[in-house]
Structure 1
Amino acid sequence: MTAVRTLRSLLFIGQMYAAMLPIAILYLPWAIASPTGAIAAAHAYCRWVLWTARWMVGIRTEVRGTPPTGEVLVAAKHQSFLDIIIIFAALPRPRFIMKRQLVWAPILGQYALRMGCIPVDRGRRAQAIKKMVSDVRKGKADPGQLIIYPQGTRIAPGVDAPYKIGSAVLYHEVGAPCIPAATNVGLFWPRRGLRRTPGLAVVEFLDPIPAGRPTSDFMVELRQVVEQRSNMLMAEAGFAPIPESDNAMDR
């Protein structure tokens, strides 16, 4: 059974990356004509990945809560590539802040720029956000859902990691409500490794944090609601998170 599951995982991963090229070519004329075409291509790719994950490796996915449609900041728990796929598929005009190096990635970089993702150099995120906000106000860019990961990277289930102050900086720069998002996807699609495990992977959009909260209040509330709800989703799937006090002793 282990060998079969590993083989299915490898086949799934291979076809997932192979599917990028034909989808990119199919949508290329529309993507060149309009950013809407680039977003449609990314949505089509996300739907393909989610569909194939279900029947090839047994990962079912579910979106809970209400996906936002207006100009908001989405601050999400990040456990693996799967939560990116689920969140992107659920939002009408999603965009990410991405490392500038990704601009040169074949297919991915060009489509990301066309969708309005924001390439930034290390340490210059605030300047990039200011320009984005200015462009939206001047009508050069459409408003959308800016997705950030407050912990800065993928975090394995049960691991305690700090929430970075940059989240609050973006929250104040954008001046829009923040929608926290919790997940349990790392239980089935790990941040590293090739093995995919069957189960129900969930992303849940939580109640918005209104714009204008003081930095300290925002950081406390964001961490509390995302971590508590993520732990509940993981417990629902049969995982018992390590208490934060134990995690802190291990570091």
Structure 2
Amino acid sequence: MLRWARSVLFVGQMYAMMAIMAVFFTPWAIFDRRGAYAGVRTYCRYVRWTARWMVGLRTEVRGRVPVEEVLIGSKHQSFLDIILIVSVVPRPKFIMKKELGRAPILGWYAKRIGCVAVDRGRRRAAMRQMVEGVRHGDAPPRQLIIYPQGTRVAPGVKAPYKIGTAVLYEETGQPCVPAATNVGVFWPRKGILRKPGLAVVEFLEPIPPGLPAETFMARLEQVVETRSDALMAEAGFDPRPPGRESAEES
């Protein structure tokens, strides 16, 4: 019961602070994109700090943080992996679902830092939107983050890796930095309860540009899934229980 109460308080203050910081940073962000980066980074670091002392959830980013122009292909389990990535990457922009662009505060800031919105329900149109958004977006060409499975995937659930990541890999001609995580063990894709422990996002060795699409996708999936499973096991979660489910779209 106490853990639930702490989780409710944590989530409530987290969203209240989102509104407060938005009011504070928006005047700067309107006139200078650096204000938007500062706002989202400050907020994400604040969430990490409050998670530690309010619900006992410590967070850690491992590996070399990408600061150059790269594609980041990350495992996505909950809002927390976004928070960890944005808290350390200097110029992040995400491939995100179109609906998020209409979200209060979050949607405006996402657009301001150059996130590319796509309609996930229309595959060919989504591919075109994604490529055009990356080619012609007005955000600085730094760290482009995509979730290869296209949605949040709970620990122990299997979901296919989608070809959109290979399209961007070929289109940009950039290295791809895989990122693994175990955050879903402590911060679920849905729900309020937050569990104590150590949540990790780990940046792995870059995959060089120029590989065939199938080779690239196989390598990306293998390194991300293997390392994510290891991080979940480190957190005390069995990542491969019998009868593993299929993932649902969030």
1:125/1:145 CA distance change after superposition, 3 Å: farther
1:79 aligned residue: 77
2:127 aligned residue: 126
* Alpha-carbon distance between aligned partners in 1 of 2:96 and 2:139, rounded to the nearest angstrom: 17
8 Å contact from structure 2 (residues 116, 134) kept in 1? no
Q: 1:186 aligns with which of 184, 196, 210?
A: 184
Q: 2:64 aligns with which of 54, 63, 66?
A: 66
Partner-residue secondary structure (3-state), 1:247: coil
Partner-residue secondary structure (3-state), 1:116: coil
Q: Give the TM-score normalised by the residue count of structure 1.
A: 0.92
1:11/1:248 CA distance change after superposition, 3 Å: closer
Q: 1:98 aligns with which of 96, 99, 118?
A: 96
C-alpha offsets along residues 115-141 of structure 1, whole Å, 9 cap, x if unaligned? 1111223433332343344337xxx54
1:223/1:14 CA distance change after superposition, 3 Å: same
- Unaligned regions of 5+ residues in structure 2, if any? none
Partner-residue secondary structure (3-state), 2:216: helix
Q: Give the TM-score normalised by the residue count of structure 2.
A: 0.92
Q: Once superposed, what is the RMSD of the aligned Cα atoms?
A: 2.0
Question: In terms of mean alpha carbon deviation, does 57-66 or 160-169 score higher?
Answer: 160-169
Matches within 5 A, 1:33-182: 33-122=31-120, 123=123, 124-135=125-136, 140-182=138-180
8 Å contact from structure 1 (residues 43, 89) kept in 2? yes
1:16/1:135 CA distance change after superposition, 3 Å: same
8 Å contact from structure 1 (residues 95, 116) kept in 2? yes
1:230 aligned residue: 228
**Across the two proteins, how many residue pairs are aligned to each other?**
245
* Alpha-carbon distance between aligned partners in 1 of 2:154 and 2:101, rounded to the nearest angstrom: 27
Cα offset for 1:101?
Answer: 2.7
Cα offset for 1:192?
Answer: 1.6
C-alpha offsets along residues 45-103 of structure 1, whole Å, 9 cap, x if unaligned? 10111111000000000000001011111111111110110011110000011222322
C-alpha offsets along residues 94-114 of structure 1, whole Å, 9 cap, x if unaligned? 001122232222111111111
- Unaligned regions of 5+ residues in structure 1, if any? none
Cα offset for 1:21?
Answer: 1.1
Cα offset for 1:248?
Answer: 7.4
Partner-residue secondary structure (3-state), 1:202: strand
2:20 aligned residue: 22
* Alpha-carbon distance between aligned partners in 2 of 1:235 and 1:118, rounded to the nearest angstrom: 33
Report % sequence identity.
61
Partner-residue secondary structure (3-state), 2:244: helix
1:125/1:177 CA distance change after superposition, 3 Å: farther
Cα offset for 1:246?
Answer: 4.5
2:244 aligned residue: 247
What code does the residue aligned with 1:247 have? R
1:239/1:171 CA distance change after superposition, 3 Å: same
Cα offset for 1:17?
Answer: 0.6
* Alpha-carbon distance between aligned partners in 1 of 2:185 and 2:139, rounded to the nearest angstrom: 37
